[in-house]
């Protein structure tokens, strides 16, 4: 259970860890890390193991996660130029829909937004993941179990419209929120392959389709 909780938080990029997975490469990456103490590294190396599809390699941070954790630990704001360069790198890596169609089925999108399952050791690999959007966002009316970590998305397209620029922005936001905020708390659904391209389209339709409960 301990292992599971640890891997789950690392999957969200929330763990303050850098390169603690125990292999040569990550150990040396941690050497220049001011907050991965040897005792902490030892705990990670000895007490955590691969389980099902939840591999210890998930603890290896991306460059953005490393930098965000570092400045958070140091209690200093990230230098503007570094934040901008991390955002530009994430922006350049966004893959837009190959057929130019941004919108799928809002009904499927609602199910994805409500589903917080997936990527756990006990899940069958290949089973589609949920997006868990409602855990952090207010998305629909009359559901008291919605979060407020992220901005309110209710009436998303009703308020902002659905211009090509809006579609592109929203897609990129969901694909990798780090393209707009280097240290975003929102999981990079496309960049980390949490959702498939079709699932991203369905979630887009949930926010954009005028018939979706989001826009009622």
- For position 113 contacting ligand HEC by CB under 6 A, the verdict is yes
Cβ nearer to ligand HEC, comparing 45 with 115: 115
Q: How far is the CB of 90 from ligand HEC (least distance, A)?
A: 11
User: Which of these ranges, 15-23, 28-36, 56-64, 144-152, lies near ligand HEC under the rule CB under 6 A?
Assistant: 144-152
Give least dist CB 136 to ligand HEC, A.
3
> Does residue 189 touch ligand HEC according to CB under 6 A?
yes
Residue 20 or 64 with smaller CB distance to ligand HEC: 64
Please pick, from the candidates 10, 20, 56, 174, the single residue that binds ligand HEC as defined by CB under 6 A.
174
Q: Torsion angle of alpha carbons 38, 60, 65, 31, nearest 10°?
A: 30
Burial 145-166 (b: 16+ CB within 10 A, else e): ebeeebeebbebbeeeebeeeb
User: Which residue pairs from 57-61 have beta carbons closer than 8 angstroms and sit at least 24 positions apart in sequence?
Assistant: 57/21, 58/7, 58/10, 58/11, 59/7, 59/10, 59/15, 59/17, 59/19, 59/20, 59/21, 59/26, 60/19, 60/21, 60/26, 61/13, 61/17, 61/18, 61/19
Using CB under 6 A, which of 13, 104, 187, 190 touches ligand HEC? 187
- Interface with ligand HEC includes 47 (CB under 6 A)? no
> Counting contacts by CB under 6 A, is residue 137 touching ligand HEC?
yes
| Binding status of residue 103 toward ligand HEC by CB under 6 A | no
Among residues 33, 146, 170, 212, the one that binds ligand HEC under rule CB under 6 A: 170
**131 lines the binding site for ligand HEC (CB under 6 A):** yes
The closest of 171, 210, 176 to 194, measured between CA atoms, is 176
Question: Contact letters (x/-) for ligand HEC, 1-30, by CB under 6 A?
Answer: ------------------------------
**SS3 annotation, 9-75:** HHHCCCCCCCCCCCCHHHHHHHHCCCCCCHHHHHHHHHHCCCECCECHHHHCCCHHHHHHHHHHHHC
Interacting residue ranges for ligand HEC, rule: CB under 6 A: 113, 131-133, 135-137, 149-151, 153, 170, 173-174, 177, 180-181, 184-187, 189, 203
């Amino acid at each position: 259970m301990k292992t599971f909780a640890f891997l789950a938080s690392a999957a969200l990029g929330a763990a303050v860890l850098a390169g603690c997975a125990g292999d040569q490469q990550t150990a040396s990456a941690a050497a220049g890390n001011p907050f991965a103490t040897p005792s902490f590294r030892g705990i990670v190396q000895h007490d955590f193991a691969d389980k099902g599809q939840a591999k210890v390699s998930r603890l290896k941070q991306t460059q953005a996660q490393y930098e965000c954790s570092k400045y958070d630990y140091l209690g200093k704001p990230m230098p503007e130029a570094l934040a901008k360069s991390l955002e530009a790198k994430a922006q350049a890596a966004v893959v837009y829909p190959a057929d130019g169609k941004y919108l799928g089925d809002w009904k499927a999108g609602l199910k994805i937004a409500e589903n917080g399952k997936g990527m756990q050791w006990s899940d069958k690999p290949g089973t589609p993941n949920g997006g868990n959007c409602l855990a952090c966002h207010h998305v629909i009316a009359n559901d008291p179990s919605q979060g407020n970590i992220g901005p309110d998305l209710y009436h998303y397209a009703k308020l902002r419209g659905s211009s090509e620029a809006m579609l592109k922005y929203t897609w990129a936001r969901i694909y990798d929120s780090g393209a707009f905020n280097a240290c975003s708390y929102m999981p990079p659904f496309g960049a980390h392959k949490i959702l498939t391209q079709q699932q991203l389209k369905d979630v887009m339709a949930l926010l954009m389709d005028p018939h979706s409960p989001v826009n009622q």
